[in-house]
Structure 1
Amino acid sequence: MRMSKDDDFSGRFLQILNDGMLCLMTSVGHKAGLFDTMARLAPSTSAEIAKAAKLNERYVREWLGAMVTGRIIDYDPSAGKYSLPATHASCLTRAAGIDNLAMFTQYVALMGNVEDDIVKCFKKGGGVPYSAFPKFQEIQAEETARVFDARLVSDILPLAGQTDRLKSGIDVLDVGCGTGHAINLMARTFPKSRFWGYDISREGIGAARAEAKKMKLKNARFKIVDAAKIDDREKFDLITAFDTIHDQARPTKVLKCIYRALRKGGTFLMQDIAASSRLHENMQNTLAPTLYTISTMHCMTVSLAYGGEGLGTVWGEQKAKEKLAEAGFGSVDVKQVEGDMLNYYYVTQKKSNDL
């Protein structure tokens, strides 16, 4: 194999290879709490870091080798001590909150588990079912808490223009609620409103109910429901769907169910990936390679596994508007939250004169 750092592409690809491996090591560091531990320590030896983190020193030392050569952690060879720069800690630790990027690296290992199954799909079609991703709910719950704790009430919900009504008391549904954290946060913040969360995952609904009980909420309810089989009619004033529509096997049918479930003049707030439906328009999207990979390895294949449309993660703004129109919605406002490069927030209403 002939590769030279003087060759632009081979040099770039060597960097891709290194960065891919660093993603795995970053995921390990996140899960093991190493970044959190090092952010609290003065420059320390591998033994001191392992002791503080309650981990095996030999593994910590080898992990540090990857982190140092990857320019993520600093090393003083004269003292044999390692340190995590504050600027790096600001996007690698749990204390970084919404700015923590290390948690996203967990998806690399998760999707690597189904690589062979995906290759089979390339040859034979079909898809890989949701059950093949046993850790997905867990990672999603972590990501949801990270984002919603920081932004849901203060930045995201105001986009729907329903804050005053939520304070007075309205009926709200979250479709594809997962572990229900968004519903529980809203229910705690707006005690006069009534909240429902629907999801097909028994595990997710169980976690949602447990959290609601822990938070002593009386206005949050959860139900195991296939989003394509929602049979409510004009029951809700506000319906939300946070990063769930493109995952559905039958997204068009789900959006039609949402439309029917809204009361006249009711509002639908749909969070989904910030991207274009046109490939060439995503060339400047910093996250485009990641998004297309996640789509291939999870979102698209899960939908196809159930005979679905397989929209994929990067279905994009144009296709989203098209699907909303098919469901019956009229004009759609596409909004963004400052500092959130990942998501678009689609806001639309059910026609007040609709029968």
Structure 2
Amino acid sequence: MDTLEFDIRLKEIISSGFTTYAIAIGREKGLFEKLCKATRPLTSTELAVEVNLDEKLVKGWLSCMVAEKLIQFDPEGDVYHVPANHQYSLLHSSGFAPALGPWIQVMEEITSGRENVDSPATKLLDWFHKHNDETSSRLIETDVIPSIKEAGLEITPESGLKVVDIGCGKANISFRFAKMFPKSTVFGVEHTDKDVEIALDSVKQMGAADNLTIMKGDAQQLPESWTDQFDCIFVFNVMHHIQDVSKATAEFRRVLKKGGLLLVIESNMHSQLSANVGSKSAALLYATHMSFQKIFHARHHHHDHDAEHPKGDHRIDCLHHSHDSDHANSHDSDHANSHHSNSQYVDEQDNNGHHSKNENSGNNHHSHAHFPQPHHTEGHGFLWGIEACQRVLEEGNFTICTQKPTTNFIRYLFVASK
């Protein structure tokens, strides 16, 4: 890259920062929503009235969006509109833009050394969890279901598939799938009592799904009775947490039916920094990691970990750390394979059938281990992102059906069959 090319690229990046802030305003103030839902093109005056903002501000915002080709302008009528095929992106893919303002405040706080758990960092984290819940849920319609169909597995509301969501987090995807396909049987698996409690609370808020079971389990040691039982396994943003990838891969292959599908989603980036040069998704993940790692560090130092467990979906844990903790063995297989409603918690049983919630067996460590920081992975052998997906597929001797970025560009999807 010569001097002129480098200078132009630098200015484009800086310009994009200002444009991102303008996009955040459009999303937060309802400007995109009003334009997308309008039955005809609007003037700047009409749009200003709709959102109750000063027309000069709206006019300037519209001009920025037109210059960036995000909104179309008709000079003859002096009106603005959004083409139908661009509306979904403006309403949904713009969801990350509002994080820019709080992120700048957080970075100022962190670099100045004025860390405070009740600072803008907490607000940014809460916002991020909400954003992630929304984007995770949409992946079902935009990526997961279409990819299952592309792989040749029949999936309709009338078909009954058996699905397990490993590391289901707040069970957004598990719940959405269960509601879309009521004749299917869906298991959402989490690793600790606390994580199961969070998932159950989330499901309770979303509604009822009698075909969904939330249970405690370990990706490295799934119930014995699950052998050749599942049509689909979801492993979304979880692989980088699993300590023994080989064990988990063997388990995935064991419980999957012949012809069944393994769907793995991870960060759309590589384990090594040198392989991420030029990747915008990697740049975004690196940048957000700077603040989220510090936020969780501050939270764990200000609150007892057991009393104040992060409430976020484990699907975003690639952006923060999770403390190692000892954990008990998996569930009794017969008990785990029985049917339960979404309001029930399938815990462990000892050999006599008694329920147990032992959190300190001292043998099996929490699979959500302290994750490798992305900017320290060069040459250290850590696997996450695309390499984590590739290793699972290669070790499990799966057949690749699909591999591509998701509609949420910071995620990468692998679909493979047994």
Shared fold, TM over 0.5: yes
How far apart are 1:240 and its partner, in Å?
1.0
* TM-score after normalising by structure 2: 0.59
Q: Which residue of 2 aligns with 1:269?
A: 263
2:54 is the counterpart of 1:42:
no
Q: Structure 1: how far apart are the matches of 2:33 and 2:129? A: 23
Q: Which residue of 1 aligns with 2:305?
A: none
* TM-score after normalising by structure 1: 0.68
How far apart are 1:270 and its partner, in Å?
1.4
Q: Which residue of 2 aligns with 1:317?
A: 386
Alignment of 1:162-311 (within 5 A): 163=154, 169=160, 171-199=162-190, 200=195, 205-213=200-208, 217-223=209-215, 232-235=223-226, 237=230, 238-246=232-240, 248=241, 251-253=242-244, 256=247, 260=251, 263-266=254-257, 268-283=262-277, 285=279, 287-298=281-292, 299-300=317-318, 302-303=320-321, 308-310=370-372
Q: Structure 2: how far apart are the matches of 1:91 and 1:165? A: 24
How far apart are 1:102 and its partner, in Å?
1.7
Q: Which residue of 1 aligns with 2:416?
A: 347
Q: Which residue of 1 aligns with 2:132?
A: 140
Q: Structure 2: how far apart are the matches of 1:55 and 1:198? A: 47
| % identical aligned pairs | 19
C-alpha change, 1:146 and 1:346, in structure 2 (3 Å) is closer
C-alpha change, 1:194 and 1:58, in structure 2 (3 Å) is same
C-alpha change, 1:25 and 1:203, in structure 2 (3 Å) is farther
Q: Which residue of 1 aligns with 2:351?
A: none
Contact 1:169–1:194 (Cα < 8 Å) also in 2: yes
Letter in 1 for 2:396: F
Deviation per CA, 1:39-93: give whole Å up to 9, x if none.
32423134x21322355657545544643565544668998x5513528844643
SS at 2:266's partner residue? strand
Letter in 1 for 2:265: Q
More helix by share: 1
Contact 1:168–1:192 (Cα < 8 Å) also in 2: yes
C-alpha change, 1:220 and 1:229, in structure 2 (3 Å) is same
SS at 1:192's partner residue? coil
How far apart are 1:337 and its partner, in Å?
5.8
Q: Which residue of 2 aligns with 1:3?
A: none
> Which structure 2 residue ranges, 5 or more long, are not aligned?
114-120, 293-316, 325-368, 376-382
Q: Larger relative CO (CA 8 A, sep 6+): 1 or 2? A: 2
Q: Structure 2: how far apart are the matches of 1:101 and 1:87? A: 15
Number of equivalences = 320
Q: Structure 2: how far apart are the matches of 1:57 and 1:305? A: 50
Choose which of 7, 10, 15 in structure 2 pairs with 1:13.
Answer: 10
Q: Which residue of 1 aligns with 2:90?
A: 93
Q: Structure 1: how far apart are the matches of 2:225 and 2:17? A: 48
Letter in 1 for 2:235: A
Letter in 2 for 1:142: E
Q: Structure 1: how far apart are the matches of 2:130 and 2:100? A: 14
2:402 is the counterpart of 1:335:
yes
Letter in 2 for 1:303: H
Contact 1:334–1:344 (Cα < 8 Å) also in 2: no
How far apart are 1:338 and its partner, in Å?
9.1
Q: Structure 1: how far apart are the matches of 2:75 and 2:107? A: 39
Contact 1:144–1:181 (Cα < 8 Å) also in 2: yes
* Bigger shift: residues 139-148 or 166-175: 166-175
Q: Structure 2: how far apart are the matches of 1:160 and 1:70? A: 37
Q: Which residue of 2 aligns with 1:28?
A: 25
How far apart are 1:287 and its partner, in Å?
3.8
Deviation per CA, 1:76-135: give whole Å up to 9, x if none.
8998x55135288446433xxxxx5322324444644542576589xxxxxxx9997112
Contact 1:169–1:193 (Cα < 8 Å) also in 2: yes
Contact 1:171–1:194 (Cα < 8 Å) also in 2: yes
Contact 1:334–1:346 (Cα < 8 Å) also in 2: yes
Letter in 2 for 1:45: S
How far apart are 1:169 and its partner, in Å?
4.4
Deviation per CA, 1:192-214: give whole Å up to 9, x if none.
3321224538555433333242x
Letter in 2 for 1:333: I
* Bigger shift: residues 31-40 or 168-177: 168-177
Q: Which residue of 2 aligns with 1:51?
A: 49
Q: Structure 2: how far apart are the matches of 1:255 and 1:55? A: 56
Q: Structure 1: how far apart are the matches of 2:151 and 2:100? A: 33
Contact 1:91–1:102 (Cα < 8 Å) also in 2: no
Alignment of 1:39-118 (within 5 A): 39=36, 40=38, 41-46=40-45, 48-55=46-53, 60-61=58-59, 63-64=61-62, 66-67=64-65, 70=68, 72-73=70-71, 81=78, 83-86=80-83, 89-90=86-87, 92-94=89-91, 100-109=92-101, 111-112=103-104, 114-116=106-108
Deviation per CA, 1:149-201: give whole Å up to 9, x if none.
23432x23346765479976454221233443322333234333321224538
